[in-house]
C-alpha cells in the first residue's frame, strides 16, 4: 500500500437495522423494515419482523474489542431513528441515546474514529403512515432528529452522513418494492427522490446548527454505467439516463442544489410531477465530504427494450461482466471503483472522498480447522483496494476506505443468508463471532500501512 499517507483511514461499516435487531425487545419503536418483515415472502430466507439482528446492542463490548483487534482506524455505523425517537416525532428515548453514547465513547477509548450515518433505511413506521419520504413534513422531522443527534454527539463525532444510498430508498423501496416500504409506484418513487435531496440539505443544516465544526456529507452508491459489446446511439443515450438516475440526480442535487434537466424532464413526462430544484434548500452545509459505496458497475447490453428500474430507457437490458460472481451474483468490476472515484474527483476536486462501503458476499462457514477460509473475498478485496490506491495515486483526494461489513448481518430482502462480514457470526450458536481469514489479512494490511 505504499504511496498512501499514514493518516489514511481504514475502517469497516455496519448499519443499525442490520445488526441491532428488531423492535420486539421493547427497546425501540417500529420501523418500515419490521413492517416489511411481516409481509409473507418479502424477506427471502423467511426472517420475520422480530429478529435479533446479531445482538450488537447486547454484545457491544465484544464488537468494540474486535474492531480494536483488527486495528481499525475508523468505524462507520448508523443510528436507528426509532431507537432514539420511537415514533419519529415528539419524545426522544434516553435509553436509546445512551446506547450510542456507549458506542461512541467505546470507540474513542480505543482510538477509533466514529463515522455516523443518520438514516440507513430504518424509517419509524409512524412516519410511513403519514406518507413516509413523500411527505415534506417528514423532511422537517428529519431536521429535528438531526439537530438532536448533533447536539448530543457532535462533541465527539467528527464525520456525519445524513443518509445512506438514497437511490435504493427511492427506487428499490418505492418502484420495485423489494425494499421497505415495499411500494410499487413510479410517482411515489419520484416524490421520494425529491424529498430525500431536500432532507440532505435540511439535515446537514440542522447538524451544523448544533455542531458547526463537524464534517457533513452524504453516502451514495454511485456507479460507472457500462455497455458490453457494440453500442448504438440509442444505447449511449440510455446509458446517460442511467448515469442521471444513479449519479447526477444525487450528486448535483445534494452537492450543488441543482437537478439534471434530462431527469426532470423524464419525471415530468412519465408522472406529471415537476421536481423544482428551487425547493431543495441550502446545500452549503453538507458538502464537506463525499461517501462512495461501490460494489460493481451497472452493466448493460444493447438489443433490449429498456430497464424498468430506469424509466425513460428504451434500448438496453441488464448484463453481466466477466466471469467472477459473488454469492449475490454480482460481477466483479474492480477497475470501476477507480473510474468512479476519478469521475467524482474531477467534478468535485475540492471535496475529500471516502469509499464508505466496498465488500463482497461469500457465504463460507467454518472449516474443520475452525477457520473461515474466505479466499474469494480476500482476492476481491485485494483487487478493489489496489484500484483505490491507483485512484489516489492519480490524484483523487481519497481519505479513507470502509470495508462492508464488520459483521455478517441482516442483508435486507435476503435476510441472514447472505454474508458480507469480515467477521463470521454463528446465528444458531449464541451469535458467536469469528474473524474470517480476510479479516486477518485486512488487519495486517492496516498494520503494515502504518510502518
CA 68, CA 435: separation in Å to the nearest integer? Answer: 12
- Identify whether the C-beta of residue 327 lies closer than 8 Å to the C-beta of residue 286: no
Residue 362 binds to ligand NOJ (criterion: CB under 6 A): no
Residue 420 binds to ligand NOJ (criterion: CB under 6 A): yes
What are the residues whose beta carbons fall under 8 Å from the beta carbon of 193, sequence distance 6 or more? 166, 170, 171, 249, 275
CA 269, CA 370: separation in Å to the nearest integer? Answer: 58
- Identify whether the C-beta of residue 412 lies closer than 8 Å to the C-beta of residue 179: yes
CB of 254 to ligand NOJ, least distance (A): 16
Residue 354 binds to ligand NOJ (criterion: CB under 6 A): no
Q: What are phi and psi of 231, to 5 degrees?
A: -125, 135
b/e for 10-48, b at 16 or more Cβ within 10 A?
bbbbbbbbbbbbbbeeebbbbbbbbbbbeeeebbeeebe
Residue 357 binds to ligand NOJ (criterion: CB under 6 A): yes
Site for ligand NOJ in 192-231 (CB under 6 A): none
Pairing of strands 159-164, 113-119: parallel
CB of 357 to ligand NOJ, least distance (A): 5
Neighbours of 304 (CB within 10 A): 16
What are the residues whose beta carbons fall under 8 Å from the beta carbon of 44, sequence distance 6 or more? 413, 414, 415, 417
Size of the site for ligand NOJ (CB under 6 A): 9
Residue 331 binds to ligand NOJ (criterion: CB under 6 A): no
- Identify whether the C-beta of residue 300 lies closer than 8 Å to the C-beta of residue 318: yes
Q: Which of 92/330 has CB closer to ligand NOJ?
A: 330
CA 47, CA 24: separation in Å to the nearest integer? Answer: 14
Q: Which of 15/134 has CB closer to ligand NOJ?
A: 15
CB of 366 to ligand NOJ, least distance (A): 22
Q: Which of 172/226 has CB closer to ligand NOJ?
A: 172
Q: Which of 168/273 has CB closer to ligand NOJ?
A: 168
CB of 293 to ligand NOJ, least distance (A): 5
Binding mask 6-25 for ligand NOJ (x = CB under 6 A): ---------x--x-------
CB of 82 to ligand NOJ, least distance (A): 17
Site for ligand NOJ in 106-145 (CB under 6 A): none
- Identify whether the C-beta of residue 121 lies closer than 8 Å to the C-beta of residue 179: yes
Binding mask 280-319 for ligand NOJ (x = CB under 6 A): -------------x--------------------------
Q: Which of 145/294 has CB closer to ligand NOJ?
A: 294
Q: Which of 178/277 has CB closer to ligand NOJ?
A: 178
Residue for cell digits 468494540?
A: 64
CA angle 107, 209, 207 (to 5 degrees): 40
Sole binder of ligand NOJ in the list 16, 74, 164, 252 (CB under 6 A): 164
CB of 230 to ligand NOJ, least distance (A): 31
CB of 272 to ligand NOJ, least distance (A): 31
Q: Which of 224/315 has CB closer to ligand NOJ?
A: 224
Site for ligand NOJ in 23-62 (CB under 6 A): none
Residue 404 binds to ligand NOJ (criterion: CB under 6 A): yes
Sole binder of ligand NOJ in the list 165, 238, 298, 408 (CB under 6 A): 165
CB of 294 to ligand NOJ, least distance (A): 10
CB of 54 to ligand NOJ, least distance (A): 13
Q: What torsion do the CA atoms of 18, 169, 295, 43 make, to the nearest 10 degrees?
A: 50
| Residue 59, Cβ density class (10 Å: 0-12 exposed, 13-18 middle, ≥19 buried) | buried
| Residue 382, Cβ density class (10 Å: 0-12 exposed, 13-18 middle, ≥19 buried) | middle
Sole binder of ligand NOJ in the list 411, 423, 433, 435 (CB under 6 A): 411
CA 247 to chain centre: 14
So which residues are the catalytic ones? 165, 357
What are the residues whose beta carbons fall under 8 Å from the beta carbon of 440, sequence distance 6 or more? none
Q: Which of 298/357 has CB closer to ligand NOJ?
A: 357
Residue 238 binds to ligand NOJ (criterion: CB under 6 A): no
Q: Which of 315/331 has CB closer to ligand NOJ?
A: 331
CA 451, CA 179: separation in Å to the nearest integer? Answer: 43
Chain positions contacting ligand NOJ, by CB under 6 A: 15, 18, 164-165, 293, 357, 404, 411, 420
Amino acid at each position: 500500500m505504499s504511496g498512501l499517507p499514514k493518516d489514511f483511514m481504514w475502517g469497516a461499516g455496519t448499519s443499525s437495522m442490520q445488526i441491532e435487531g428488531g423492535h420486539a425487545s421493547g427497546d425501540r419503536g417500529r420501523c418500515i423494515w419490521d413492517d416489511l418483515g411481516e409481509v409473507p415472502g418479502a424477506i427471502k430466507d423467511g426472517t420475520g419482523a422480530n429478529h435479533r439482528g446479531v445482538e450488537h446492542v447486547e454484545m457491544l463490548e465484544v464488537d468494540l474489542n474486535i474492531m480494536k483487534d483488527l486495528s481499525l482506524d475508523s468505524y462507520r455505523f448508523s443510528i436507528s431513528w426509532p431507537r432514539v425517537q420511537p415514533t419519529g416525532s415528539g419524545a426522544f428515548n434516553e435509553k436509546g441515546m445512551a446506547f450510542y453514547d456507549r458506542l461512541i465513547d467505546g470507540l474513542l477509548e480505543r482510538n477509533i474514529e466514529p463515522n455516523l450515518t443518520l438514516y440507513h433505511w430504518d424509517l419509524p413506521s409512524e412516519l410511513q403512515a403519514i406518507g413516509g419520504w413523500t411527505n415534506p413534513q417528514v423532511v422537517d422531522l428529519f431536521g429535528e432528529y438531526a439537530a438532536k443527534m448533533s447536539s448530543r454527539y457532535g462533541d465527539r463525532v467528527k464525520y456525519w452522513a445524513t443518509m445512506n444510498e438514497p437511490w435504493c430508498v427511492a427506487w428499490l423501496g418505492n418502484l420495485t418494492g423489494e425494499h421497505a416500504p415495499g411500494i410499487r409506484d413510479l410517482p411515489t418513487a419520484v416524490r421520494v427522490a425529491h424529498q430525500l435531496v431536500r432532507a440532505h440539505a435540511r439535515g446537514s443544516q440542522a447538524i451544523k446548527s448544533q455542531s458547526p465544526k463537524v464534517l457533513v456529507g452524504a453516502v451514495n452508491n454511485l456507479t460507472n454505467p457500462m455497455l458490453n459489446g457494440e453500442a448504438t446511439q440509442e444505447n449511449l443515450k440510455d446509458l446517460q439516463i442511467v448515469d442521471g438516475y444513479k449519479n447526477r440526480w444525487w450528486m448535483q442535487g445534494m452537492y450543488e442544489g441543482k437537478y439534471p434537466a434530462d431527469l426532470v424532464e423524464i419525471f415530468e413526462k412519465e408522472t406529471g410531477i415537476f421536481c423544482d430544484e428551487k425547493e431543495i434548500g441550502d446545500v452549503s452545509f453538507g458538502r464537506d465530504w463525499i461517501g462512495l459505496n461501490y460494489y460493481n458497475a451497472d452493466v448493460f447490453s444493447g438489443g433490449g427494450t429498456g430497464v424498468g428500474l430506469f424509466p425513460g430507457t428504451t434500448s438496453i437490458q441488464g448484463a453481466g461482466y466477466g466471469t467472477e460472481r459473488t454469492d449475490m451474483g454480482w460481477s466483479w468490476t474492480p477497475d470501476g471503483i477507480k473510474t468512479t472515484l476519478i469521475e467524482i474527483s474531477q467534478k468535485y476536486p475540492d471535496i475529500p472522498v471516502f469509499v464508505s462501503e466496498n465488500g463482497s458476499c461469500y457465504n463460507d462457514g467454518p472449516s474443520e480447522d475452525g477457520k473461515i477460509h474466505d479466499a474469494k473475498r480476500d482476492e476481491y478485496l485485494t483487487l478493489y483496494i489496489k484500484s483505490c490506491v491507483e485512484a489516489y495515486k492519480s490524484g483523487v483526494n481519497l481519505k479513507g476506505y470502509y470495508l462492508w461489513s464488520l459483521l455478517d448481518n441482516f442483508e435486507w430482502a435476503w435476510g441472514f443468508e447472505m454474508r458480507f462480514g469480515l467477521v463470521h457470526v454463528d446465528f444458531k450458536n449464541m451469535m458467536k463471532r469469528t474473524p474470517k481469514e480476510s479479516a486477518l489479512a485486512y488487519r495486517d494490511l492496516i498494520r503494515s500501512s502504518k510502518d
